[in-house]
């Protein structure tokens, strides 16, 4: 669906029943009129005035596009989700949406588990398939809420794959020292300070990379436009605040982003630190959280520092607290013999 400028004004061109349904076109002298009319037609489509339940000829690709037009474009990762969903539909063969069943998904999942990742030349991870599951289920769920999809969610009731909890990967003190030493030797003038900022605040690498001078004030870092949209303010030492700001603009971007990831990767390699796939710069955030709990930090305060929306996301670090299961040492049967 689209509104385009034409010689006689603004033309609306869309298919209320999806790609397989009738095409509706209408031209208006003003863009606002075209937008208002399009919204009205969407409402009619949502109310079922354009199509009957048993005549819904939309394919999965039509549902995904409708989801994106109505809701997905508002999400921070909307474009990435659309790409992922489009790839899923291609692998599924883009069936009629009303014919898609939970059994179809389970068969897709079975085949997907035997496939290799195109770039990494390794089997697709169960976590990747669980993300695909969540994305596709959300499409149906959202359209049901908007009354755009009158059938049931075919993904409802299907459990995700169970995944073994991964080991907590974080840097020990000697590794931190070696890494910082190598980062300080880097030709990139910013990666050393960026890494110290992440280690001191738990910031994501992207948050540090995009930090602006006006966001560092009174020995506090104001993180905004974060992954989950929640702003947070984290205190830092006077020394680190001075190190971040010295020689850098007080307004606008603090750090140049040219090849920062590659510079960090090179430093990790020179420091002889081995990290799992996908754990490059993010290991700094894990290291902050892990050492915070090792030093007997408060798990609720850690949740706020990391900007997690739920405690479930933070609780895995609790096991590193010095008192976690400490009485096992004295209350096991060997200790009481």
Catalytic residue among 227, 250, 269, 301: 227
Contact 161, 109 (CB under 8 A): yes
Query: What DSSP letter does each residue of 130-170 carry, written as one string?
Result: HHHHHHHHHHHHHHHHTT---S--TTTTPPPPP-PPPPPP-
Q: Rg of the chain over CA atoms, in angstroms?
A: 26
Question: Active site includes 30?
Answer: no
Cα gap 93→47, rounded to integer Å: 29
Given 11, 26, 112, 282, which residue is catalytic?
Answer: 282
Q: Which of 196, 204, 291, 303 is catalytic?
A: 204
3-state DSSP: the chain helix, strand, coil percent, rounded to 5? 50, 10, 40
Element (H, E) at 251: none
The pair of three-digit structure tokens given for residue 18, joined into one six-digit string = 């999806």
> Rounded CA gap, 126 and 132, in Å?
10
Please list the residues that pair with 142 across neighbouring strands. Answer: none
Q: Which residues pair with 9 in a beta bridge?
A: 6
285 catalytic per annotation: yes
Given the residues 98, 133, 232, 285, the one annotated as active site? 285
Catalytic residue among 19, 109, 308, 316: 308
- Catalytic residue status for 308: yes
Q: Is 222 in the active site?
A: no
Buried b (16+ CB within 10 A) or exposed e, 259-269: ebeebbebbbe
Whether 119 is catalytic is: no
Query: Catalytic: 59?
Result: no
Q: What residues act catalytically?
A: 204, 227, 282, 285, 308, 317
């Amino acid at each position: 669906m689209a509104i385009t400028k034409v010689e006689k004004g603004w033309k609306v061109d869309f298919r209320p029943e999806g790609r397989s349904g009738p095409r509706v076109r209408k031209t208006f002298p003003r863009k606002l009129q075209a937008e208002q009319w399009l919204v009205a037609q969407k409402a009619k489509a949502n109310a079922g005035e354009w199509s009957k339940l048993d005549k819904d000829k939309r394919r999965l690709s039509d549902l995904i596009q409708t989801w994106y037009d109505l809701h997905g474009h508002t999400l921070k990762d909307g474009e990435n989700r659309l790409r992922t969903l489009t790839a899923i539909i291609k692998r599924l063969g883009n069936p009629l949406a009303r014919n898609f069943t939970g059994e179809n998904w389970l068969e897709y999942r079975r085949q997907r588990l035997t496939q290799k990742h195109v770039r990494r030349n390794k089997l697709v991870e169960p976590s990747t398939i669980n993300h695909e599951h969540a994305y596709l289920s959300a499409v149906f769920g959202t359209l049901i809420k908007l009354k755009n999809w009158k059938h049931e969610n075919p993904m409802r009731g299907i459990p995700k794959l169970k995944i073994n909890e991964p080991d907590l990967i974080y840097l020990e003190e000697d590794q931190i020292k070696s890494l910082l030493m190598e980062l300080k030797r880097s030709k990139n003038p910013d990666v050393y300070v960026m890494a110290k900022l992440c280690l001191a605040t738990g910031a994501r690498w992207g948050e540090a990379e995009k930090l602006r001078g006006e966001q560092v004030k009174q020995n506090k870092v104001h993180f905004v436009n974060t992954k989950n949209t929640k702003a947070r303010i984290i205190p830092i030492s006077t020394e680190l605040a001075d190190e971040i700001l010295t020689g850098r603009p007080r307004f606008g971007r603090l750090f140049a982003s040219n090849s920062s990831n590659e510079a960090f990767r090179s430093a990790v390699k020179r420091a002889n630190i081995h990290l799992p796939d996908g754990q490059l710069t993010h290991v700094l955030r894990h290291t902050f959280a892990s050492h915070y709990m090792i030093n007997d930090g408060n798990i609720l305060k850690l949740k706020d520092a990391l900007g997690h929306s739920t405690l479930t996301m933070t609780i895995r670090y609790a096991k590193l607290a010095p008192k976690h299961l400490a009485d096992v040492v004295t209350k096991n049967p060997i200790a009481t013999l």
